[in-house]
Amino acid sequence: MGYPLSQPPRARLGADVLADHPGPEAIPGLVAELAEQWKARAWCGPDTTARRLARFGPEAAAAVPVLWRYWRHTPHSYERAAYLKALAAIDPSGLDDAYSESLWDCEERVRLLAIASAPRHPQTLHRIAVLRDDPMETREVRAAARARLAP
């Protein structure tokens, strides 16, 4: 967050809580922050900005192009779930391909999002069945896939 470490822990915590729950007047600043993070190739932390923007839903539409860039190009796979969730909250149109691709993601949280939201196409349903039956897959992913394929 950028607060001095000399600040008392409770004050830092309070500042972080307020930063995580901004009002709509913060949207332009958050969009600018995300764009600046992209420009600086700041790969650690944009997921936090994405989560903050997701809270505003469609009001944060200006962030969508940068969120897509991050989702496609981040070297930190563990942050992809935050970008996918933010895109879904802000502009869910056009996510079918992202969800379908995410069924192969290395990150469990991303696969779980994809299982829940991928379109019901033969290819995606087949991949979900593979995830359901894969003994090397996590228990949570297998359970989500089983639930998604249940009649």
Query: Can you give 18-54 as a three-state secondary structure string?
Result: HHHCCCHHHHHHHHHHHHHHHHCCCCCCHHHHHHHHH
- In sign, the C-alpha dihedral spanning 71, 77, 83, 87 is positive
Q: What is the pLDDT of residue 118?
A: 98
Cα(72)–Cα(10) distance, integer angstroms: 37
Classify residue 86 as exposed, middle or buried by CB count within 10 Å of its CB (0-12, 13-18, 19+): buried
Q: What is the pLDDT of residue 9?
A: 72
Q: What is the pLDDT of residue 20?
A: 66
Q: What is the pLDDT of residue 23?
A: 80
**Contact in structure between 125 and 149 (CB atoms under 8 Å):** yes
| Low-confidence stretches of the chain (pLDDT beneath 50) | 1, 3
- How many residues are recorded in the chain? 151
Q: What is the pLDDT of residue 8?
A: 72
Cα(20)–Cα(4) distance, integer angstroms: 18
Name residues whose C-beta falls within 8 Å of residue 89's C-beta, 6 or more positions apart in sequence.
54, 55, 57
Q: What is the pLDDT of residue 16?
A: 61
Q: What is the pLDDT of residue 6?
A: 62
Q: What is the pLDDT of residue 144?
A: 98
- Among residues 61, 62, 63, the alpha carbon closest in space to that of 46 is found at 63
